[in-house]
Amino acid sequence: MHVVEIGAIKVGGAHRHVLIAGPCVIESETLALETAHRIAEIAQAVGMPYIFKSSYDKANRSSITSFRGLGIQEGLGILRKVKERVGAPLLTDVHSVEEARTAGEVVDVLQIPAFLCRQTDLLVAAAKTGRVVNVKKGQFLSPWDMANVVKKLEESGTRRILLTERGATFGYNNLVVDMRALPVMRGLGYPVIFDATHSVQLPGGGGTTSSGQREFIAPLASAAAGAGCDGFFMEVHPRPDEALSDGPNMVPLSELKRLLERVKRLCDASGKGPEFVL
């Protein structure tokens, strides 16, 4: 298992489970800073290292009229302020070779969206920035097919890799999570993160937007803790029902501490992976 260093945080192996959390999209500087501050306080209280995530552009929204974000320049400027004032490492999505290079100058982790996880040029560009690359497993991929993604990144010169499970397409407008994916992907030699919020998404379920089943975030996060992973990805918002993107499957900020306490208890009890093979 490669241990991936992100600033002072070490992910993988025997190191503590990491929390990657923040609003789906950067709605404003005020919201980003206030949310980051509060999540950082909660993560410290619970005892989980924390990476702030938020997107400057949601390039795959269901509708042409949906809010996409503030754009790369303004968004990266806000992310830079979050790092300066909160002290948390940063993660954001990139969608093109040019974005990877630009965002790589600011953030600590470049995230490859699930829909783009096989885009070779994007993977190569992200790898060549020297930043950590977190790849969301496509809803259309098996966990063992992520071996090809890992190979592309390794051949491009990086072993600073995270792999994220976010569910698999199950018929129309639905996702399911096969918890076997966590140990399978950990078997590829890199830390695995469980995305507890996109895993409850109902893609396109709202017609012009995606819907979600927030009530299943805690059960799935708990199951992932038992199956074994190296950290959790959660989108969090002070008022999810007013959020401009992915509100139905975001964790209310007021409920985050209680959720993390539950998940951490299970992580501490179960470890990070199978202790035996039947």
DSSP letter for each residue of 10-46: EESTTSPPEEEEE-SB---HHHHHHHHHHHHHHHHHH
pLDDT of residue 58: 85
The label of the residue with tokens 């830079």 reads: 80
pLDDT of residue 37: 98
Spell out where the chain has E strands: 4-6, 9-11, 18-22, 50-53, 90-93, 109-112, 132-136, 161-165, 168-169, 175-176, 192-195, 201-202, 211-212, 231-237, 251-252
The pLDDT of residue 184 is above 60: yes
Alpha carbon separation from 72 to 31, 79, 147, 165 (Å, rounded): 17, 10, 30, 26
Q: Give tens-digit pLDDT for 141-162.
A: 999 999 999 999 999 999 999 9
Mean pLDDT for the stretch of residues 127-150:
98
The pLDDT of residue 277 is above 70: no
pLDDT of residue 275: 56
As a whole number of Å, the CA-based R_g of the chain is: 17
Contact 112, 126 (CB under 8 A): yes
8-state DSSP, 168: E
Name, in order, each residue with C-beta under 8 angstroms of 143's C-beta and a sequence gap of 6 or more: 137, 165, 178, 180, 181, 184, 185
pLDDT of residue 122: 99
The label of the residue with tokens 């990139």 reads: 94
The pLDDT of residue 50 is above 80: yes
pLDDT of residue 232: 99
